[in-house]
Structure 1
C-alpha cells in the first residue's frame, strides 16, 4: 500500500490524464445508495477472490464508508502481483467525499 489520499487528491487524479481505478469495497446495497462516479463495486468480503479483476491497473484507490476498511483492502490489493502502480486508500471514505455521487449499480 502506498498510503492514503484525500478527497482533493482523488478529484485531481480523476480530473487529470491518469488512469485510476476506484474500487468501492462496501456491500452492494451501500454502493447502490451512492458511490463515486466511475467506481466499481468489489465488496471486501469477495476482494480476495476478485482481485485479479484489477490486473494491469496503473493506479488503484480503494474506498469504503469511513476510510477504515479501505486501508485493509488497499493492503490486500497492493500485495497482488498484477498491479502496476500505486495503491491508495481514500482517507475520508465515501462519507467524506464532497463531490457528486452516482446512484444505482453503475456497472
Structure 2
C-alpha cells in the first residue's frame, strides 16, 4: 500500500454501507458549529486536537471515511490518515453538502454521543 493512498467514495455507496451496518469509522473535519448543526449519523468530529485520540483508539483495519463540506479538504485529510497506517481510507465525494441534499432524513444534530 502506498503511504498516502485513499479512495473516493460516492454518496450512494456510503448510504448502502450504512444500510448494511458495515463497520465504519466516520470522521467529520468541518468546524464544530457546522458539525453540531448537522452531520452523518455515527460520525465523530475530528479537529487537530482530536487526532491523537483517533490515532490511539481507531481500528486501522476498519474502513475510515473522511467527510468535509464539499469533498475537497477531506482528500488531504484522507491521504494523511492513510499515511498513519489506516488500511482502507475514503474521502466522501461531494461531502456533507451533497449528503444532506440527497439524504436530508439521514442527518443527525448536536454533539451528544458523536464525539
The residue correspondences of 1:20-59 to structure 2 (distance < 5 A) are: 20-43=24-47, 45-46=48-49, 48-52=51-55, 53-59=57-63
1:12 Cα offset (Å): 1.3
Superposed displacement of residue 29, structure 1: 0.9
Larger Rg: 2
Q: Figure out how many residues of one structure are paired with residues of the other and give that number.
A: 104
- Name the SS for the 1:29 alignment partner: helix
Report whether the alignment pairs 1:103 with 2:104.
no
5+ residue gaps in structure 1? none
| Ranges of 4+ aligned residues in structure 1 off by more than 3 Å | 45-51
Q: Distance in 2 between matches of 1:34 and 1:23?
A: 13
Q: Please give the TM-score of this superposition, normalised by the length of structure 2.
A: 0.80
Match of 2:93 in 1: 91
Q: Which runs of 5+ in 2 are unaligned?
A: none
The alignment yields a C-alpha RMSD, in angstroms, of 1.7
Name the counterpart of 2:81.
77
SS at match of 1:30: helix
What TM-score do the two structures reach when normalised by structure 1? 0.85
